Amino acid sequence: QKEVEQNSGPLSVPEGAIASLNCTYSDRGSQSFFWYRQYSGKSPELIMFIYSNGDKEDGRFTAQLNKASQYVSLLIRDSQPSDSATYLCAVNIRRGSYIPTFGRGTSLIVHP
């Protein structure tokens, strides 16, 4: 089992819809969770981070964390074609110290 799991997709949604991206992780001691967006040929850029159970909202983005079930999700409301990208989930996993560990990423396609 990979330490951080994501469905590779592609996830295809129409413009204006809600896109829901999910991530599960194996280390119950993980405290920090990040979502990065990566456009083709570019480097990852941070869009959300969350440390506490519950929801965290930033504009059209909402991160949701459930530590008991060991999953973190990202909701994108009013999806736009410009949101089409790969979304990477990262979790700080304990290996002695905490090491940022990435899932394989979910490809999102928002079609007009």
Partner 1 sequence: NAGVTQTPKFQVLKTGQSMTLQCAQDMNHNSMYWYRQDPGMGLRLIYYSASEGTTDKGEVPNGYNVSRLNKREFSLRLESAAPSQTSVYFCASIIQGMNNQPQHFGDGTRLSIL
# of chain residues touching partner 1 (CB under 8 A): 25
Burial class (CB in 10 A: 0-12, 13-18, 19+), 29: exposed
Which of these segments, 13-21, 54-62, 74-82, 85-93, binds partner 1 (CB under 8 A)? 85-93
Residue 39 near partner 1 by CB under 8 A = no
Report the alpha-carbon distance of residue 32 to residue 58 in Å, rounded: 17
Closest separation between CB of residue 40 and partner 1, Å? 11
Residue 1 near partner 1 by CB under 8 A = no
Closest separation between CB of residue 89 and partner 1, Å? 9
Report the alpha-carbon distance of residue 47 to residue 6 in Å, rounded: 17
The dihedrals phi and psi of 17, each to the nearest 5 degrees, come to: -85, 175
Query: Could you tell me if 45 and 34 are in contact, meaning their C-beta atoms sit under 8 angstroms apart?
Result: no
Chain positions contacting partner 1, by CB under 8 A: 6, 8, 31-32, 34, 42-46, 49, 51, 88, 90, 92, 96-105
